[in-house]
């Protein structure tokens, strides 16, 4: 089912791309960010409350590292705007308050979380989810 409304980080990127008229990524776009579908995350929160240990650390990660260039490609197609590579020192002008994260390669893993809580992400991955035709429908 296509999402409508706010989608966290993706909504931020979408808003910036609309304002700037381009979708930017830092360097060659291989910087990776982890993700998980909000329904999978909600299931994980429930399992953490039911089965988790006090002070447990759990990682809600389905896609261990989605390259930023792949996210930019989907956003660019959805908005019909070009993609551009920017230097890390240009990230502040484009990303604003999230610039400090724009150049960080941040893969994350959830194997221990999955084993400890019996959690298995089953929803669409980030690229498949945001690639749906109505995902970016204006609200």
Rg (CA), the chain: 16
Average pLDDT over residues 75-81: 94
pLDDT at 7: 63
Average pLDDT over residues 114-131: 95
* Whether pLDDT at 5 is above 70: no
Residue 136's pLDDT band (boundaries 50, 70, 90)? confident
Three-class secondary structure of residue 12 per DSSP? helix
pLDDT at 48: 97
Domain of 28 in residue numbering reads as 24-130
Task: Specify if 55 maps to a domain.
Answer: yes
The model carries a pTM of: 0.86
Domain count, the chain: 1
The 3-class secondary structure across 102-123, one letter per residue, is: HCCCCCCCCHHHHHHHCCCCCC
Task: Specify if 73 maps to a domain.
Answer: yes
Task: Specify if 57 maps to a domain.
Answer: yes
Token couple for 36: 């998980």
Higher pLDDT, 122 or 5: 122
């Amino acid at each position: 089912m296509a999402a409508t409304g706010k989608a966290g980080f993706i909504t931020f990127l979408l808003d910036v791309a609309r304002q700037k008229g381009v979708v930017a990524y830092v360097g060659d776009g291989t910087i990776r960010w982890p993700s998980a579908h909000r329904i999978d995350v909600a299931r994980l929160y429930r399992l953490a409350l039911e089965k988790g240990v006090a002070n447990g650390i759990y990682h809600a990660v389905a896609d261990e590292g989605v390259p930023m260039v792949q996210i930019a490609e989907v956003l660019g197609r959805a908005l019909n705007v070009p993609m551009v590579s920017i230097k890390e020192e240009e990230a502040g002008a484009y990303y604003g308050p999230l610039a400090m994260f724009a150049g960080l390669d941040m893969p994350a893993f959830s194997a221990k979380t999955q084993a400890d809580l019996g959690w298995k992400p089953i929803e669409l991955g980030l690229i498949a989810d945001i690639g749906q035709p109505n995902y970016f429908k204006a609200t």
